[in-house]
A and B are shown apart, each in its own frame.
Chain A
Amino acid sequence: MNYFKKHMFDKFSLSRDDFGKAPEEITEEAADINEDELFEFAEFDEKKSEIIAAPRYSYWKSVWKTFISSKFTVFVAIFVILIVLFSFIYPKFSDYDPMNAKHINDASHKYLRPSLEHIFGTDNIGEEVFDVVWAGARNSLIISLSATAIDMIIGIIVGAIWGFSKKMDKWMIEIYNVIANVPFLLLAMILSYVLGAGFGPLILTMTVTEWIFVAYFIRTQVMIIRDREYNLASKCLGTSSGVMIVKNILPYMISIIMTYISRQVPMLISYEVFLSYMGLGLGTQYASLGRTISSYKSYMMGYPHLFWIPVAVLAIISISLYIVGQKLADAADPRTHR
């Protein structure tokens, strides 16, 4: 309170003794101050009113800032990077080979529970479950990531043109109706019988029809923003459709494309697992999470770690990839910036 009083008096150049005096007694000091010293003419500059004071905006910088602003997101992102790196690097150093069962005659090496020596334990033929799971995870990731990349590239290109061209829409929608009604499992079975089991045929199975779903999704999104006024303005300036797709349409869709990818990658991982589980996926010469789960399922009761560990690894990879994808998509949406 005293502090406030002191400063208040200072401000009006009054002293504590002035308190309670008549106004004419106080103004002596105040009258010394020349009015001209207190005020000066402000000049009006039109240019100055146009200046934008806010710091410069950069789209990708803002995406990055928003993305790293949440500790949880950063944690999951680092976790995903480590898991992916680990699943790509570790199988190179482990001596696991699905075609060579080294310990099959060593009964003391089978069905071991997880321990420090055998992190995930060992399985029915004496293999380290840790090695088996990571080799399988690597193959699942390779397949789902490359299939997603192919789906998205074809889907985005076709979908953007499809959404933009009213002529193309008429016959593309018919093609979509036909392809979308082909049962996926039937197609997978036929392709696996005709082409055999392996990386190529499996990626083909996941892309041969899947791209059109991506394209359809993109088409719908393009149609929503196609007729907005800024596209009309571009048309009035003579911008060609190709340039409009690249400059006006796709930049608006980064966020929804990210969302799609973040759903597509885990979905294709589970496709791989599902097809391998059904015996339509990778051949026995390749490690595969799906086939691993399939072959361990009979030990669910006796040796639960054999079944649950691969399932848990699958779930963790899928969920963390999904979370990171969603967070990236959120960050890519400019409405979340600042």
Chain B
Amino acid sequence: MSMNNEREVILSVKHVDVTFGDNKKKPFKAVKDANFDIYRGETFALVGESGSGKTTLGRAIIRINSCSAGEIIFDGERISGKISRQQDRSVIRNIQMIFQDPAASLNERATIEYCVSEGLYNFHLYKNEQDRIAKVDKALEDVGLLPEHKSRYPHEFSGGQRQRVGIARAMIMEPKFIIADEPISALDVSIRAQVLNLMNKLKKEKNLTYLFIAHDLSVVRFIADRIAVIHLGRIVEIAESEVLFKYPVHPYTVSLLSAVPMPDPIIEKQREPIVYTKEEDDPNAAPREMREIRPGHFVYANDEDMKIYLDRLEKMEAFHGE
């Protein structure tokens, strides 16, 4: 799995800041110096608590939020900042988004047929009416819905069905890259697996790359190849999924993992949540940056932290017998 370096980078986020507010002197930085690559065909998860800036970063990639610094490269082309209209349209075609709340992200006054065809209309991706209807039918079939649903309205569907309409709407554009912004957190627990399996199936069939934004670590472990942990707008650790769960290095990651509930009453009773106190508050600390602690495993640290983290990592490795 450590062949990352040889894999093709599809999306590269380079030193991206996202800033909100008009206050020039003290702007609010929602995302600070985000820096990572996503490889073609992988599922890259962005994990963090509410307000950590994970959605903001996702939206910066799809150009809803603008970056105040840094750049985003997709398929070798810069897609952040000012780009031509043609490029903008190509971004829309190649990058699609699945939204968090299926009830809020579908137009309640439009039929499913219109919701799914919207992208086709905008880019005129069909030869004639028959072709368009055939494409809509196919997209609905791909997500397990029936052609007869076309004339229905979103409020007639269940939450899982609505989310699948949202997926169909994104897939009909034949994108290469999909940003899934907490696609299952608004869904009933009983249908979460259904939607996740569908996403995995579509990924294989259509050779997609996912950026999966979530706060639920158990879900992320199931779906992601690599995970980035984001805290207060700052990415603190990036590693392959299993590595991160086995060898969490940054104290925030450790604390986050300690908060995952265990489906075992005895372990659950003994589980002690580790509270994370923000290190950045220390004004005397040397500036930190992303450093590679093991191949493909990055952590936000300075020299001093690095010693502690290495020590911790070695202990964990010894514990796991490596």
Contacts and interface: CB of A to CB of B under 8 A. Distances in A.
A247 interface: yes
A52 B156 contact: yes
A43 interface: no
Nearest to A56: B151
Contact of A237 (B144, B149, B169): B169
A186 B244 CA distance: 74
Interface stretch (A69-77, A226-234, A266-274): A226-234
Interface in A222-248: 228-230, 232-240, 243, 247-248
Nearest to A237: B119
B156 A233 contact: no
Given A46-B144, A50-B146, A233 B166 contact: yes
Contact of B62 (A236, A247, A252): A236
Interface residues on A, range: 20 to 34
B152 A56 contact: yes
Contacts of A235: 64
B295 to A, nearest CB: 35
A236 B100 CA distance: 14
Contacts of B75: none
A178 interface: no
B108 interface: yes
Given A233-B97, A233-B166, A235-B64, A47 B114 contact: no
A334 interface: yes
Contacts of B169: 233, 237
Interface string A137-160: 000000000000000000000000
A211 B187 CA distance: 44
Given A235-B64, A238-B123, A240-B122, A59 B109 contact: yes
B85 to A, nearest CB: 11
Given A52-B156, A232-B64, A237 B151 contact: no
A228 B154 CA distance: 15
Contacts of A234: 107, 118
B156 A54 contact: yes
Interface residues on B, range: 35 or more
8 contacts: A50-B149, A50-B161, A229-B100, A230-B105, A233-B169, A236-B62, A238-B93, A243-B122
Contacts of B148: 51
A70 B318 CA distance: 77
B119 A247 contact: no
Interface of A: 46-47, 50-52, 54, 56-57, 59, 228-230, 232-240, 243, 247-248, 251-252, 334
B104 interface: yes
B201 interface: no
Interface string B100-133: 1100111111100010001101110000000000
Contact of A57 (B96, B104, B149, B156): B156
B209 to A, nearest CB: 17
Contacts of B151: 56
Contacts of A243: 121-122
A169 to B, nearest CB: 15
B152 A239 contact: no
Contacts of A57: 152-153, 155-156
A252 B155 CA distance: 14
A46 B153 CA distance: 21
Given A235-B64, A236-B92, A247-B114, A52 B152 contact: yes
A247 B111 CA distance: 11
Nearest to A47: B146
B74 interface: no
Contacts of B92: 236-238
A46, A233, A239, A251 — which one has the most chain B CB atoms within 10 A of its CB? Answer: A233
B9 interface: no
B122 A238 contact: yes
The 6 closest A-B pairs by CB, nearest first: A251-B109, A238-B122, A238-B92, A237-B119, A229-B104, A229-B105
